[in-house]
Structure 1
Amino acid sequence: MSTLSVTAAPAHPRQARWTFLLHRWALAVWVTLVVAISGLLLWAAGPLADESDRAWHRLDACRRLSRCVVDTGSYSTTYTFLTYAMILLPFVVAAWAGATLTARELESGTALMAWTQSVSPVRWLAVRLTLPAVVLTVGASLLVALHRFAWEAPEERTGNRPTWWVPFTFHANGPTIVTACLTALAVGTLTGLLVRRTLPALGVSVAASVLLLGGAHWLMPHLRTSVTEVGPFQDGYPDLYTGVELSHGLVTRTGAHIPTPECQATSMDVCRRIYEQRGGTGFYTTFHPASHFWPLQLTTSALLLVVTALLTAASFVVLRRRTG
């Protein structure tokens, strides 16, 4: 591997200001996104939730009619759209960090000029990581708080709200979306240092973020001990669709948990006899209840922070090897 010999120069006192000027358009886009999503979340939590509440009251009043059509408003549609927008934010961060935070300056030679004339490589990278990390943390934390406010808005009204364990709602309602943005920032930074070309770094950063964040979501239910509820056949599956589900099936006479055998009969009594012939005594459900929301959020966030720290450390190692 070829290296660049760079003589460390005294830290430039205006390095932070230069970083701000260089990425001011990215900052403007981020602030615009945060302000726009925040405003729409407040709109959803207030007027749209009230509109939905009035519609549900009208629906309740006309249930005795043979035909009843009520427009429940746009709360649900707006909430869903904003939740999707928040979930996409880490990937937007990854694309920006991979394309412009490090790769563009390395590709154009601006970074080498800064290292030889005004600032050391380590300080150059530290400033480029610290300032965006602060801005991302503040903005994403505000959005999480407002998203929870919008999600909780129907609770004191008649209308329904999305269940807490739906994946997108789960992440948008807690710190995992904040740490996901920081992980995406670290992914993009490291990718830019390794690839050193703007467009390839953008694509690799987004793909790597999808894999990392998707893996974290997959691991999330396994980071805390789950709860298993068992019940007789006549009661159905206990607590099914009330939390983050891991599995459900039959309980046998030996206490083993097995998948539910296929049964295409129209009568539950017939299916129950089939289940009993297979040694079944009841149903079980293994899941995380609502009380596990914050433990799952915190353990997943801690995992993402560890990954972020490792990626950041790797970025400094790569930079040191590249600059000698």
Structure 2
Amino acid sequence: MTTLAPDHVRSPRLSGPVWLVWRQHRAAYWTLIGLTLVGVLVMVVLRGQMTDYLNTSAPKSGALPPDFEKYSGRLFSIGGYLTYVPALTGVFLGAPLFAGDLESGTAKLVTSQSVSRLRWLTTKLALTAVLIALSATALSVTFAWWWSPVRGRDDTLEWTSGVFFDGTGPVPVAYALLTFTLGAAIGLLLRRTLVSMAVTLGAVVAIGLVWDRFRLNLGHVLTITTDRGIGPDSPQPELPAQAIQQGQGTSFLTDSGARLDWTTCLEGTSDDRAQTACLESKHVIGYAMDYLPVTQMHTMQWLATGIMLAGTAAAVLFVVQWGQRRLL
């Protein structure tokens, strides 16, 4: 049996449409890879500095040192930069993906060869989407690893913040894919690179505003109550660890289970006794407070991921159908 010498063994290489797409967009792809590696390296270094500080300065009680603000500020700053990843992928990778080829005439040249429209569309989408998914996953995992030593140890690092909810778990990957495919669909429709980038930016900003407004609606709000009376000496609800209060704060609970706003009986009263007497006349027996427990975080993230991936699938379907019918 004849074996090939090492010099004759060919390493795997890209070929066909995959090679063409990589060659065409290699500058954007290498930029994405490079920025991802830089981001991961920066977070690894900053996490090491934070853990070294905690090991030498953290009190035995487990609480964070009083001067931890510098390190929490770094977490928020880097996390804030990561929230721009979906916008960047949509504007700089999604919008020019097809618009650039349609504007320059490359699409007509490619599809006039042996490559079908469907194969050209899916190859460009798939290769770019894989790189985006790998990049977002690397950043998400590293950021979650950085956050893990101080998670739940400070109220300022709450999990419902967009920095941590959108920057960890599967959400960053799904979010980036959604904006990328949306940008690709807009570019295919408008056929002009700069116009497509501008429209994509507006669409991504609009999605972000809506997402920030309704993110917490994915969770199931729970209520904790007390029934030991009201007043300065009566206990108020104590939330579980890392739970996030919802609504306008503590409300009053009546013996029928109804809830009254915290401003009840404030008008026309001059002291606490008068307010207490007013509330007792309304059969108030304690307090109630709404909250989201931290145990719902992963469920909410996966629900958000499902919604975003559904939007991604819709955008991909549009690209495929529109591209095959009205590409040129």
TM bracket (short chain): 0.7 to 0.9
Per-residue displacement from partner, 1:85-142 (whole Å, max 9, x unpaired)? 1111000001113442111111111111111124222111101110111111111111
Aligned to 2:203: 208
- Check conservation: 2:95, 2:180, Cα contact below 8 A: no
Partner of 1:78: 74
> What corresponds to 2:192 in structure 1?
197
> Is the CA contact 2:18–2:123 (under 8 Å) kept in the aligned structure 1?
yes
Other structure's SS at 2:87 match: helix
**1:110 correspondence with 2:128:** no
In the alignment, which of 125, 128, 135 is matched to residue 132 of structure 1?
A: 128
Q: Any gaps of 5 or more consecutive residues in structure 1?
A: 1-11, 61-68
How much has 1:204 moved relative to structure 2? Answer: 1.3
Cα pair distance change 1:73/1:296, threshold 3 Å: closer
Paired amino acid for 2:32: W
Q: How does 1:220-235 map to 2 (within 5 A)?
A: 220-232=215-227, 233=230, 234-235=234-235
SS state at 2:320 partner: helix
Q: Secondary structure at the match of 1:261?
A: coil
* Alpha-carbon distance, 1:165 to partner: 2.2
- Work out whether residues 154 and 161 of structure 1, in 8 Å CA contact, stay in contact via their aligned partners in 2: no
Partner of 2:319: 315
> What is the TM-score of this pair, normalised by structure 2?
0.80
Q: Cα offset for 1:179? A: 0.3
1:92 correspondence with 2:88: yes
Task: Give me the whole-angstrom Cα distance separating, in 1, the residues matched to 2:68 and 2:280.
Answer: 45
TM-score (norm 1): 0.81
Partner of 2:40: 38
**Cα displacement string for residues 71-93 of structure 1 (whole angstroms, at most 9, x for unaligned residues):** 54732222111101111100000
Q: Which secondary structure state, in structure 2, belongs to the residue aligned with residue 23 of structure 1?
A: helix
1:268 Cα deviation after fit: 6.0
Instruction: Give the match for residue 174 of structure 1.
Output: 169
Deviation of residue 295 (structure 1)?
Answer: 0.8
**Structure 1 position 218, deviation (Å):** 3.9
**Counterpart of 2:25?**
23
Gaps of 5+ in 2: 1-13
Q: CA deviation at 1:313?
A: 0.6
- Amino acid paired to 1:236: Q
Conserved? CA contact 1:240–1:285, under 8 Å: no
The structure 2 residue matched to 1:186, chosen from 163, 181, 184, is 181
1:52 deviation in Å?
4.7
RMSD: 3.2
SS of the residue corresponding to residue 235 of structure 1 reads coil
Distance 1:71 1:163 in 2: 18
Take 1:101 and 1:196, find their aligned partners in 2: how far apart are those partners? 10
Partner Cα separation in structure 2 for residue 295 and residue 241 of structure 1: 18
| Percent identity of equivalent pairs | 21
